[in-house]
Amino acid sequence: MTNLTAGVLLFPLLGFVILGVTGSALPRRMILAVAWGACGLAFLLATISFFSMLGTPPAARTSDQVLYTWVVSGDFQVSFGLLFDPLSATMLMIVTGVGLLIHIYSAGYMEDDPGFWRFFSYMNFFIFAMVLLVSADNFLFLLVGWGLVGLASFLLIGFWYQRRTAVAAAQKALVINIIGDFGLMIAIFLIFRQYGVLNFYNNANGPGVFSALDPATTGNRLQLVIALCLFLACAAKSAQLPLYMWLPDAMEGPTPVSALIHAATMVTAGVYLVARAHPLFELAPTALTIIAVIGGVTALFAATIALFQLDIKRVLAYSTISQLGYMFMGEGVHNYSAGIFHLTTHAYFKALLFLAAGAVIHALGGEQDMRQMGGLRSRLRTTFWTFLVGTLAISGIPPLAGFWSKDEILSSLLAQATANHKAISYLLWGIAIVTVALTAFYMFRLFYGIFMGDYRGSGRASHAGDEEEEEPSRRTAGRFTIHEAPPIMTIPLIILAVLSIIGGLVGSFDLISLSKWRPLTAFLAPVFADVHTMATASFGVEWISTLVSVGFALLGIFAAWRLYGRGFQYKENKNPFYQLLYHKYYVDEILDAVIVQPILWFGRTAARVLEGDVLDGGSRAVAGGLRGISAGLRRLQTGYVRNYALAILIGVVLIILYYAVRG
Amino acid sequence: MPLSAYLIVSAILFTVGVVGVLIRRNPLIIFMSIELMLNAVNLSFVAISSKLDSADGQMFVFIVLTVAAAEVVVGLAIIVSIFRTRRDIDVDDMNLLRG
Amino acid sequence: MTVVQISFFVLAVASVASALGVITFKNAVHCALSLILTLLFLALFYLQLGAMFIAVVQILIYAGAIMVLFLFVVTMLASEASDTRLADRIPWQRWVAGILGLVLVGALSYLLFTGTSIDNRAVATGANSLSHVVNAQGNTEAFGQALFHGFVYPFEVTSLLIIVALLGAMVLGRKA
């Protein structure tokens, strides 16, 4: 099996370095050549390696390649090692494939931007960091990748750094991510302390953590703490409660960034980590339950907020949070491959939705508010159809991709519920089902709001048959021609739409048990072979779950059609419930009041009191004291000779008294 | 008479001289008090010389006497040169070195 | 009570009284005269202790030369030569000085009463003894012998000192 992961890792790095150093001087074609070349080569190598893996027998599908020995300390050894197994192969394909499509799309979207070269160098850097994260073979190298993707996210969210909101959003993302990094580091410390090694599996460097685990310690407090610390990192990176606040604000970045990082790849790092470290999670069943519950609550919570948002990217952001919750729910019931499956299908349709939204924004000259849209169906045909595909996919309508992966998760949830008969498991399944309806509703609200009804904005509709004309008057005084995006942007949309349609079939097609064809699950099986506690769904359970979920999805679509089918009419709604959801449960305001303002107050007060009064005051007090002493002593210098003679006499008397007392 | 009697008289005279230096403001009277101190010490020297039956004490008195004379000469010359033109003489006027 | 004791007490009281007079009289001339009186009483002390030469030298030089010089200067300077017209700028000094004076006297007396006695080995005996020479030749001869046999060097140096003082006085005393 050829393991070309090193190339997959290094080409984007090379692209980043070249573009970073020389990019500002290169012409546009060269920049694209380097960027597309780097990402394209990465994808090519990943594909070759993937097919090579398919050609090897399942038992031999693990390859661990050490690039460079990093830390050697006695028996402990950690290196830059790349692990290539089914899980990392899947992730590599997704990252480089979707990444390449978005690189192509961005050439059109960012064409007017003066920071064109900077954008592509950051994108290449992100690809490099993400590849590093998913192919690391030990926890420490994973931590490096974890931090680097956080950095890439910061750079790309704050890409338009002259905007204060963008910089603030980037800072918010970084701060919340650091909380997660803290959790990951604590987990690594605990793992090292307990097991003495940090490699995942046994390799040339030494034994691995997962081989050293003792099943007898299941349920121990230490395992629980490790698992929860790891999940803290996942919650921060994958925007779960309570660390989700950064993702909606991250929409300040360019839309391709939102598509790549905050929909398809970076936010899925948390899901990947749970899957990769599943032996550790298996030893802490309570942690898995917590993960499932948090995933479910987050899914519902985010879906409720998305119901009434007006910014189209915000709706998609909250929908991402919601779908990530689904993935964690799947992993929480021990079905890791279901979580990964949903990760892949979500990558397709969420990237599609974001890129299509980007096409709309691009066509409207930067408009993101749904109230200014409508009736774009006739103007943006390709976008319309691809967006529809994406919306159907995310709502879970068969036979599109989203249906298969969601169904997998839902039936796992119901199977778990029927297996252990716990109320909480049933509740989780119920939450998931309700969220299906909500998802369908708000996505179709979005769809109708953008494309149906009459155009409510200030632009001028183009004539029929008018293709893209780069008129200078396009941006004059708010009136411009609305036209479809150029092919460089629409072709990736079409490709992603096709993937959203057929992508699910790769994962599983055993719905009616006609065929137990579950390629992805089978592919990932060697990785998760040690998971024995997964409840398999019986025939009846699966059918019930499927029918109920499709029914709820149709219900949601129907409700959206009734309300918004003729277009989105914005009405000011004073209902307090509506206001609560519209303002995202006032979470940001609460956090600002409870955490941010006290910290700022503390900082200001510390600066004033500690530095001003204590430190400065202390030194001033010393100076003042010395001045006082010297002023007091100065009074001895009266200038009168008689006083000085008196002083001499005092000295003499003291000496004589000393001798008198001494005897 | 025991030696200590003479020495105590000497001590008393010395102290009177010291107090005189500190109390009076007329520089001449201060100078006279200093002479008084020197004489008190002369008395001790002579008394001890008599007790020790040695001429060394009286030698010292002789030297002290001479030095006192020279000192008075120079001191009075200084006082005259400082206070020659003033109407009231007060040592406390010399206070330019106050801090 | 022997004559020596009575004379000692009388002289003691008288000299202390005139010394106190030196520091208390307001008129500078009175102070100078008081000092002359004190010097006289001290000369009588010296006589009592057997130092005849020193006694006479004291009167000749101290009372006769030095105090005359003092009186010259007193009359040359300020017309009234009194320092009570101006207010005392440091009035607290006299109290402190007084108290310290009493302390000093007390401490010195205490030390003199309880201190070690003079080492008897320091007492010169035999041919070195002063009284021996005095009995043989008289006080002045004894004094002269001691001066020119043991103290020649200080003697010569004091003559130098006197010359220097003379020059200094001439320079300082000139009108500016």
Nearest to A645 among B21, B96, B99 (CB): B21
| Averaged pLDDT score across all residues of chain C | 85
> A637 and B99 in contact by Cβ < 8 A?
yes
What is the pLDDT confidence band of residue A659, given thresholds at 50, 70 and 90?
confident
pLDDT in tens, A83-119: 888 889 889 999 999 999 999 999 988 888 888 899 9
The reply to whether residue B99 touches residue A642, judged by beta carbons under 8 angstroms, is: no
State what percent of residues in chain A have pLDDT above 90.
35
pLDDT bucket at A222, cuts 50 / 70 / 90: confident
The rounded distance, in Å, linking the Cα atoms of A565 and A200 is 52
The answer to whether the CB atoms of B98 and A642 lie below 8 A apart is no
Please determine, for residue A510, whether its predicted confidence score (pLDDT) is greater than 60. no
Q: Which residue has the higher pLDDT, A477 or A51?
A: A51
Contact C23 B12 (CB under 8 A): no
Partners of A460 in the β-ladder: A481
Residue A164 has pLDDT above 60, yes or no: yes
In this complex, the residue of A643, A656, A657 whose CB is nearest that of residue C93 is A643
Query: Considering only residues 11 to 50 of chain C, which have any Cβ-Cβ distance to chain B shorter than 8 Å?
Result: 12, 15-16, 19-20, 22-23, 28, 31-32, 35, 38-39, 42, 45-46, 49-50
Residue corresponding to tokens 């989203």: A402
Q: Tell me what pLDDT residue A373 has.
A: 82
Mean local confidence (pLDDT), A358-373:
84
Q: Read off the pLDDT of residues A600-633 as tens digits, 9 standing for 90 and up.
A: 999 888 888 888 888 888 888 999 999 999 999 8
Contact (CB<8Å) C57/B62: yes
Which band of pLDDT confidence, cut at 50, 70 and 90, is reported for residue A45?
A: very high
**How close does chain B come to C164, measured CA to CA in Å?**
8
SS3 content of chain C, % helix, strand, coil (to 5): 80, 0, 20
The whole-number pLDDT of residue C78 equals: 62
Residues 81-100 of C with CB under 8 A from A: 89-90, 93, 96-97, 100
Give the list of residues 6+ apart from residue A546 with CB closer than 8 angstroms, or none. Answer: A407, A410, A411, A511
CA distance C113 to chain B (A): 7
Specify the pLDDT at position A437: 93
CB-based contact A120:A23 (threshold 8 Å) = yes
The C-alpha atoms of residue A8 and residue A412 are separated, in whole angstroms, by 34
pLDDT at A61 over 50: yes
User: Which of A450, A447, A460, A462 is CA-nearest to residue A397?
Assistant: A447
Kindly state the average pLDDT of the residues A232-238.
92
Mean pLDDT of A58-70: 80
Would an 8 Å CB–CB cutoff place B37 in contact with chain A?
no
pLDDT tens profile B7-58 = 999 999 999 999 999 998 888 999 999 999 999 999 999 998 888 888 888 8
Mean pLDDT of A123-147: 92
pLDDT exceeds 80 at position A576: no
Among A479-493, B19-33, B66-80, C86-100, the least confident range: A479-493
Q: What is the 3-state secondary structure (H, E, C) of A338-368?
A: HHHHHHHHHHHHHHHHHHHHHHHHHHCCCCC
Q: Do C46 and B25 touch (CB under 8 A)?
A: no
- Residue C84's pLDDT is 60
Q: Which of B5, B11, B58 sits opposite C8 (nearest CB)?
A: B5
Residue A472 has pLDDT above 60, yes or no: no
Calpha distance A62→A50 (Å, rounded): 12
State residue A468's pLDDT score: 40
Question: Residue C81 and residue B89: Cβ atoms within 8 Å?
Answer: yes
Q: Which residues pair with A72 in a beta bridge?
A: A77
Q: What is the pLDDT of residue C83?
A: 55
A653 with C104: Cβ contact below 8 A = yes
Strand (E) or helix (H) holding A82: strand A76-84
pLDDT at A242 over 90: no
**pLDDT band, residue A299 (cuts 50/70/90):** very high
pLDDT for residue C67 is more than 90: yes
Tell me which chain C residue has its CA closest to the CA of residue A654: C104
**Mean pLDDT (whole number) for C130-159:** 83
Cβ-based neighbours of A445, under 8 Å, separated by 6 or more: A307, A560, A563, A564, A568
Nearest residue to A501 via CA among A386, A378, A333, A334: A386
Chain-chain contact of C73 with B88 (C-beta, under 8 angstroms): no
For residue range A369-418, what is the model confidence (pLDDT) as tens digits? 888 787 788 778 888 899 999 999 999 888 888 888 898 889 888 888 88
User: Residue A175 belongs to what H/E stretch?
Assistant: helix A164-195
* Among the ranges given (A37-51, A150-164, A269-283, A521-535), the one the predictor scored with the smallest mean pLDDT: A521-535
Confidence check: pLDDT of A236 > 70: yes
Please name the residues between 613 and 652 in chain A that touch chain B, using a CB distance below 8 Å. Answer: 634, 636-642, 645-646, 649
Residue B75 has pLDDT above 80, yes or no: yes
Handedness of CA C168, C173, C175, C176 (dihedral sign): positive
Shortest CA gap A633–chain B (Å): 9
